[in-house]
Structure 1
Amino acid sequence: MGNTDKFEMIADVYDTEDRIHIAKVSSDAIREYIDDAKSKTAIDFGCGTGLVGMNLLNELGSVLFMDSSQNMINQIKHKISESDIQNADTLCFDVEQEAPLNVHADYIFMVQVLLHIPDAELVLAKLFNVLRDGGHLMIVDFDKNVNITSELVHNGFDQSELKDMMTGLGYRNIQSKTFYSGSQIFMGQDASMFILEAQK
């Protein structure tokens, strides 16, 4: 997946105070869309070190932590083992490069992941097939930011354009809102973050 090599190198120093804070506000935003889900399965897609999914374990039946970086997966495996967590598993998988994923989930959430994916439409189409009928995809990412120019990441997303793309892929009941703004949180620039929720 996009920028995997970079994440392989920073896995063991990834959990900074700033990232832990962003993960908390992101998981709080996701929690608003999770209702009566103690028997439901979820995938923390592009999970990194699992900062978001770990915050949501109590709301869900199980969480599969998935990332294309083996070093990131090793970090979350250590956390699961250290805390003796019973309702979590891990999978190192590159959804862009590998064959279709033979797992299904009621919820998929991805936090600051889409901006690293060159072909967002391709990955969102693949995730549509992973969702069970009626399942929910939650995307947390940056609003489009004209001050960002990078060859490594998208400069955020226009919520209405993203909704149109996802409608074309078959997603329905799509809703989104900007929920957080911060200083220097996106490549050294002030930025805002949105959450988008869509259903299969």
Structure 2
Amino acid sequence: MTQHQPDADRFSDEAAGWDDKPGHAERTLAVAALLRATLPLRPDLELLEIGGGTGSLSRELADVIGRAVVTDVAPGMVEVARERLADPRFEGWEARRYDIERDELLDERFDVVVGVLTLHHMGDVAAVIGRCAQLLRPGGHLALVDLDHDAEGAFHAGVEDFDGHDGFTRQSARSWLQSAGLVEVEVRDAGAITKEVDGGERDFPMFLATGRRP
């Protein structure tokens, strides 16, 4: 969800009610459906979610993966994720506080690494994507959903202390995955987030970038 301390504090404060925010459940279902249609998911796969918040996306994929490790830098989000993963259906799943940008690389390797609306909170996006690629097993898939570039910066205009990115061009996303050594790189539409801006509603398009580790 975030990698910067002001954002981590804000997301921790919002964690308890995060899954009830308007549009969150619908967006989670839509992204999960897109991942099901795009990735070769199987019940024996292990998935790592970066910036996973409360783990709602991973939980939605529970029937097509074997195990998930949900990570976030916001302690409040991790606490809520652990509570949700206490359900017997998620035996063996984990929620951890982990900063993909700054912490040492995990020892584990995964079949799928997923991040949704996480990249725009990072500093060095190319480096983060490279680290994500390193966490994949051979043949594993990286899937990243984020905002298309918004030159006006309208999406985060009302967010105090936001110091991330105003989305990305799809060509940049493609280049970063390719530079990380991934193959079969594709960038496709991933719906949009509708948000009130200047008294009116505006749609902010998203993309899904995917690639496979050889």
Is the structural similarity TM-score above 0.5? yes
Question: Is 1:161 paired with 2:172?
Answer: yes
Number of the residue aligned with 1:69: 74
Number of the residue aligned with 1:8: 12
Number of the residue aligned with 2:137: 132
CA distance, structure 2, for counterparts of residue 182 and residue 79 of structure 1? 25
Number of the residue aligned with 1:199: 212
1:127-165, Cα deviation, whole Å (9 max, x unpaired): 111111111000111111223255433111111121112
Contact 1:148 1:189 in 2 (8 A): no
3-state SS in 1 of match to 2:107: coil
CA distance, structure 2, for counterparts of residue 69 and residue 175 of structure 1? 30
CA distance, structure 2, for counterparts of residue 17 and residue 82 of structure 1? 24
1:170-189, Cα deviation, whole Å (9 max, x unpaired): 11110111131343279974
More displaced, 175-184 or 142-151?
Answer: 142-151
Contact 1:95 1:123 in 2 (8 A): yes
Contact 1:147 1:189 in 2 (8 A): no
Number of the residue aligned with 1:180: 191
1:104-130, Cα deviation, whole Å (9 max, x unpaired): 100011111111112111111111111
Letter in 2 for 1:24: L
State the TM-score, normalizing by the size of structure 1: 0.91
Deviation at 1:14, TM superposition (A): 1.2
Number of the residue aligned with 1:79: 84
> Aligned pairs, how many?
200
CA distance, structure 2, for counterparts of residue 176 and residue 53 of structure 1? 21
Letter in 2 for 1:120: V
State the TM-score, normalizing by the size of structure 2: 0.86
Q: Give the unaligned 5+ runs of structure 2.
A: 157-161
1:41-92, Cα deviation, whole Å (9 max, x unpaired): 1111111011111100110011111111121111011111145522521221
Number of the residue aligned with 1:144: 149
Letter in 2 for 1:184: K
Deviation at 1:97, TM superposition (A): 1.9
| RMSD of Structure 2 on Structure 1 (CA) | 2.0
Contact 1:23 1:51 in 2 (8 A): yes
Letter in 1 for 2:209: L
**Partner of residue 35 from structure 1, selected from 10, 35, 40:** 40
Deviation at 1:193, TM superposition (A): 1.1
Question: Is 1:104 paired with 2:109?
Answer: yes
CA distance, structure 2, for counterparts of residue 132 and residue 26 of structure 1? 23
Contact 1:34 1:59 in 2 (8 A): no
Q: Give the unaligned 5+ runs of structure 1.
A: none
Contact 2:28 2:56 in 1 (8 A): yes
